[in-house]
């Protein structure tokens, strides 16, 4: 499957797989603090996107707003992880690019509901 054909759900799934693989390389104290929080947030986003895809338009808007907040919070956490050197520059770039793309897809979905 080509990358540009992937849905937002698939993009989040792929990001989570990448993130999960990196977590194993993190120092133990970080693994059970900031990495765990990011892990929980990513799974929360995956769950909320799934729910949003199955509910009515009003509830969908609320769920997508929640996902947007979660996504922005993860961006802050990932930037912090880079700053404290628990995440290398290459991995940071990959995660940031993925989060930005998911954010654009989410924004498009949210805008389509306003029409």
CATH label of the domain that carries residue 71 = 1.20.1440.60
Residue-level pLDDT at 1: 30
- In which residue are the tokens 């693989």 written? 21
pLDDT band at 28 (very low <50, low <70, confident <90, very high): confident
User: For residue 2, is pLDDT > 60?
Assistant: no
Residue-level pLDDT at 3: 38
pTM: 0.89
DSSP alpha helices (H): ranges in 1-115?
8-23, 28-31, 34-52, 57-83, 89-114
In this prediction, residues 77-102 reach a mean pLDDT of 95
- Number of domains, the chain: 1
User: For residue 29, is pLDDT > 50?
Assistant: yes
* Domain with 66 in it: 3-114
């Amino acid at each position: 499957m080509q990358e540009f054909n992937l849905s937002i759900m698939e993009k989040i799934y792929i990001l989570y797989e990448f993130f999960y693989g990196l977590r194993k390389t993190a120092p133990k104290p970080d693994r059970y603090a900031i990495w765990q929080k990011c892990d929980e947030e990513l799974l929360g986003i995956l769950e909320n996107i799934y729910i949003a895809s199955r509910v009515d338009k009003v509830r969908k808007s609320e769920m997508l707003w929640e996902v947007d907040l979660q996504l922005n919070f993860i961006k802050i956490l990932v930037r912090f992880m880079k700053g404290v050197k628990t995440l290398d520059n290459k991995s940071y770039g990959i995660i940031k690019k993925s989060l930005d793309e998911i954010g654009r897809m989410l924004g498009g979905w949210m805008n389509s509901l306003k029409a």
